[in-house]
Structure 1
Amino acid sequence: MGSRAIHAPAGDGATVVTSQKVREGCEDDYQRWQERTNRAVRAFDGFEGTEMYPPGVGDERAWVVVFRFSRLDQLTAWLDSSERRELLAEARPLFDGTPTQEVLAGGAPPQAKEEAVTAVISHHVRPGREEDFARWQVKAFKAQAKYPGFMGNELFRPVEGIQDNWVVVFRFDTRQHLDEWLASDTRQRLLEEGERYFSGYDVQKVGSAFSGWFRFGAGADNAVPPNWKQAMSVVLGLYPTVMVLNLTVGRVLTDLRVPGYLSLFISNMLSVSILTWFMMPLVNRIFAFWLVPQRARSVRTHVAGAALVMLGWALCILIFGLTSG
């Protein structure tokens, strides 16, 4: 796996974003291997943290892992270490194709905000068209900034003798808004124009739509569950929250003749607050064996957790069916 480094002052922090497609059926072995890798990297000077993101919808089994170091030279020491080379050699049978990585030195980290979803795009710029590409990228940034959910972008230039790629990092508030930009007609027209300046590009996505509700500590356990588990868990926390509010606060607001639009705002504010600070932490603790990717290593665990969540749904429906009348 070749390193693509983007130069910045040595003390500004450094991040490597790795994308690797895992062979079908090898997910459990891969996660165990990634745990060992996370333990190995912690022993290196300057290590600050790691995050792992399971494949999202349409990501073709691509797992994204982020490592953060205090300085570029400390990150380079890890990338060039014999420990990492041995780990990569061991994991080669688990990967479908060659893993890719981008090293970002300086600037904000790819996951600067908990709710942000980030794209890391590496461009292979044609020789002699570098300044044309930079001007084209400015044009693309201006167009991108007009789309819903846009949160910011950064451009990392290559370093002579280290790597030739230009890397663009941009963020949106949700996965849906990011995908809307990536699939937009505006971007397709820009890409057609940009083909004069670059011969190819690679896209990596980092983040999760519900990431703010699914944090399991630092280090190796900072991975988020797959989206289908997140959705099931949110429904388990949201349904009883909304029902209880409808049966209590909702009736009070109705008796007080509060306008519907204001009543809905109050109910939404209360439900999101209860969900964020009480229900989801409770659900996360109860179902940690199923939600934390490093713990859910077998098909039996996946099925058992999903069955328990659906049982919780059924119990809620039964209880509210009998009490709400």
Structure 2
Amino acid sequence: MEELDIVTLIVRHRVRAAQRPAYEKWLRRTTQIASTYPGHLGVNVMRDAEQFVCVLRFAGTAELQHWLDSSERRHLIEEVAPLLDEGDQTQVETNREFWFTPTNAQPALRWKQACITFLVILPLSLLVPLLWQPLFAKLPILGGYFVSNVLITLSIVLLVVYLFMPRVTALFAHWLSSH
């Protein structure tokens, strides 16, 4: 199995206050279009009073570059330019998770990070082993102490990183950013 070289595109837009509804409509259309590109792994949008931060993940640099160089994206950026106070601000990250620092502001307080992480991991640590039990019963080789713990831990980590943590941090973004 080939390991993915996941790359993250962070897009920051400062939207003119009167243009927020038009921008929201543009953003929904844009994220839907981006999701059709090969290698697209998901998008999260964080909003605050000052800006929108979109985090797009792609399976690799080539897939991200295909989206960045596309005529569709170029037209979308031209279309949104009049709605923005500043231009299209992009940043590419290849080795950094993007859970707790959605803007250039200070990172969330560690105790808040711990609370959110606990909130996500606790239910998974209770549920995931139960979901694996039928397979462990049918294939005892997978139910051994080491193998079962590797499978359960791997499942939890993948669910946290790719599914739950981006959504939960977006949901709690305001609380995480308030000090």
| TM, length-normalised to structure 2 | 0.58
What amino acid does structure 1 have at the position aligned with 2:23? Answer: Y
Alpha-carbon displacement from aligned partner over 1:278-297 (angstroms, at most 9, x marks no partner) = xxxxxxxxxxxxxxxxxxxx
List aligned pairs for 1:1-325, cutoff 5 A. 11-56=4-49, 61-105=50-94, 107-111=95-99, 117-118=100-101, 149=110, 173=113, 215=167, 224=171, 227=174
Do the aligned partners of 1:54 and 1:225 also contact (CA within 8 Å) in 2? no
Higher strand share: 1
Q: How many residues align?
A: 122
What amino acid does structure 1 have at the position aligned with 2:67? Answer: W
Report sequence identity in percent: 28
Cα distance in 1 for partners of 2:166, 2:97 equals: 19
Query: For residues 109 and 93 of structure 1, do their structure 2 counterparts lie closer, same or farther at Cα, with a shift above 3 Å needed?
Result: same
Cα distance in 2 for partners of 1:118, 1:173 equals: 10
Query: For residues 80 and 90 of structure 1, do their structure 2 counterparts lie closer, same or farther at Cα, with a shift above 3 Å needed?
Result: same
Query: For residues 50 and 84 of structure 1, do their structure 2 counterparts lie closer, same or farther at Cα, with a shift above 3 Å needed?
Result: same
Cα distance in 2 for partners of 1:214, 1:17 equals: 13
Cα distance in 1 for partners of 2:23, 2:60 equals: 28
Alpha-carbon displacement from aligned partner over 1:200-221 (angstroms, at most 9, x marks no partner) = xxxxxxxxxxxx89959xxxxx
Cα distance in 2 for partners of 1:119, 1:223 equals: 9
**Moved >6 Å (runs of 4+):** none
Residue 109 (structure 1) shift: 2.6
In structure 2, the partner of 1:145 is none
Which runs of 5 or more structure 1 residues have no equivalent in the other structure? 1-9, 112-116, 122-147, 151-171, 175-211, 217-221, 229-325
Report the secondary structure of 2:41's partner residue.
strand
RMSD: 3.5
| TM, length-normalised to structure 1 | 0.33
Residue 104 (structure 1) shift: 0.9
Alpha-carbon displacement from aligned partner over 1:147-182 (angstroms, at most 9, x marks no partner) = x618xxxxxxxxxxxxxxxxxxxxx728xxxxxxxx
Which runs of 5 or more structure 2 residues have no equivalent in the other structure? 115-163
Query: For residues 94 and 225 of structure 1, do their structure 2 counterparts lie closer, same or farther at Cα, with a shift above 3 Å needed?
Result: farther
* Greater length-normalized contact order (CA 8 Å, ≥ 6 residues apart): 2
Cα distance in 1 for partners of 2:19, 2:8 equals: 26
Of the two, which has the highest radius of gyration? 1
Cα distance in 2 for partners of 1:104, 1:173 equals: 21
